[in-house]
Structure 1
Amino acid sequence: MLIILISLAGFYTSYISHLPNFSHFPLLIHLHFIGFVGWFVLLIIQPILIAKGKRRLHRSLGKTAYVLIPLLIISILLLVLQQTEREFEYSIQKALMTSFIGFIDALSLGVYFTIAMMNSRNQRWHVAFIIACSLVILNPGMSRLLNQIHPGSGLLAASLLPILVSFSILIFEKINYQKPILKSPYLLFLGCWIAEILLLMIIPRTDFWKNFVLAILQ
């Protein structure tokens, strides 16, 4: 619920506050928001179904994620492409950073969701990478919200939160359940996220990425 509230607060000014007059927004924005809200609705309902022993309904309802995640990935890429085109007019470096963040978010969302679904019968791994997906989806709204409060703080928070969450769960599991850290799905997620941050610090500054983005925009 906290994740949902933070995310919705981040998009309140730019989108939700216009309710019910959404006619001036393109269809792509609406589809992205539907995917975003649909995922968080699942995030609330699915654990409740498991707690009540309704595993069959949990599995049936979970199949909607096979529509929601591709919808989110495609809409993220298209929206980032549009934003990159706009930013290229006044800041090439910012445009390159924006495009890479969008690309790595879409890629990691797809990878984490695939891992979660491949481990649907392994509750620990399944839950770990559902959390990973949710943190990726949370980041844009949280970044917008924090940037409204303190400009520039959004990217830092989006980079650090997944590290804090995964590290905290690693320590919690070790202390309370004596789970081996080296076999933990949260260690894998932590490693993947740190790798993403390192790539974010390097790739957008390269000629390779600049040429790649220019080729896509042309």
Structure 2
Amino acid sequence: MKFKYADYYFSSFIILVIIGFWPTYFSKFFDGTANFSQYFHFHAVTAVLWLLLLIVQPMLIRTKKFRTHRLIGKFSYILVPILFISIILLAHFRLNPDTENLAWRVWIPFKDLFIFSFGFGVAIRYRKTVAIHARGMVVAGMALIEPTMVRMVVNVFGLEQPLGYYLGIAPIYIILIILIIKERNEVKGRWVFKWAIGLFLFVHLIRIFKIILPFWDDFAHWYISLPLT
């Protein structure tokens, strides 16, 4: 499979990001109601930088600028922890100890971190094996799909929950199934997308059915009690 054209797909995804976040974020800067906390802006900037990295890296591979690709790849070692911090701080800012279904609501942002960690971890662990490295980066990029698509179908198209949520996450499984079918004759890396679809199913089932284990409930209350924001 050729992933060197992945930048075209991630570039088109920028349009979906703008549409999905337009009602609740971008439009506010035009109507004068952009009174967001710094945590929102911090997360927005880091997420955009990550998306730009996903666009630039395969472009550099295709143009054979491998040295620049490796240099920017090292920058991701700094960017990714900062992106994680931005998500953790934003979630902490938006929740409080009295929030209803606190453990479940903490799970919503953290499940994206689990997916991201898997994809990025695979990409870094197998950075010298192109077939596996590329698949890991694709999975890490797919962590952006749910936040974008769910907002689009709910806020833009006005679909109510839970249907809006189901339609928002459907593209994830459609893409993964297509990729698994297309790579059926590949020699290396076929396990990455299979593990990814299993992990997505795991985190989404917990999200949909609100399955919260005692240890996660304890973690959620401990996390919210921290003086982070």
Q: Structure 2 length as normaliser, TM-score? A: 0.80
SS in 1 for 2:144: helix
* Greater helix proportion: 1
Structure-1 residue corresponding to 2:174: 164
For structure 2, the 5+ residue unaligned runs are 1-10
Q: Distance in 2 between matches of 1:193 and 1:35?
A: 23
Alpha-carbon distance, 1:172 to partner: 1.2
Whether the 8 Å CA contact 2:43–2:83 is kept in 1: the answer is: yes
Contact 1:100 1:204 in 2 (8 A): no
The 1:144–1:5 alpha-carbon spacing in structure 2 relative to 1, beyond 3 Å, is: same
1:145 shift after superposition: 1.3
The answer (yes or no) to whether the contact 1:129–1:189 under 8 Å persists in 2 is no
Distance 1:143 1:202 in 2: 17
Q: CA deviation at 1:201?
A: 4.7
- Say yes or no: does 1:75 pair with 2:82: no
Equivalence for 2:160: 151
**Cα deviation code 1:113-149 (max 9, x no counterpart):** 1111111121221111111111112321221111112
Report how far residue 58 of structure 1 moved: 0.8
The structure-2 alpha-carbon separation of the partners of 1:87 and 1:38, relative to structure 1 and needing over 3 Å to count, comes to: farther
Cα-Cα RMSD: 2.6
1:19 aligns with 2:26: no
Change (3 A) 1:145 1:159: closer
Q: Which residue of 2 aligns with 1:56?
A: 67
Contact 1:146 1:154 in 2 (8 A): yes
Tell me the alpha carbon deviations over residues 58-84 of structure 1, each in whole angstroms, 9 at most, x when there is no partner: 111222222221122111122122323
Measure the CA separation in 1 of the matches of 2:188 and 2:69: 29
Match of 1:42 in 2: 53
Contact 1:116 1:128 in 2 (8 A): yes
Provide structure 1 residue ranges, at least 5 long, that are not aligned to the other structure: none
* Percent identity of paired positions between Structure 1 and Structure 2: 23
User: What is the total number of aligned residue pairs between the two structures?
Assistant: 211
| Structure 2 match to 1:10 | 20
Asked if the contact 2:103–2:216 (Cα under 8 Å) also holds between the matched residues in 1, the reply is yes
**Whole-angstrom CA distance in 2 between matches of 1:184 and 1:11:** 33
1:154-183 residue CA offsets vs partner (Å, 9 max, x unmatched): 432344332221111111122xxx226994
Q: 1:45 to 1:215 in 2, by over 3 A?
A: closer
Distance 1:37 1:102 in 2: 17
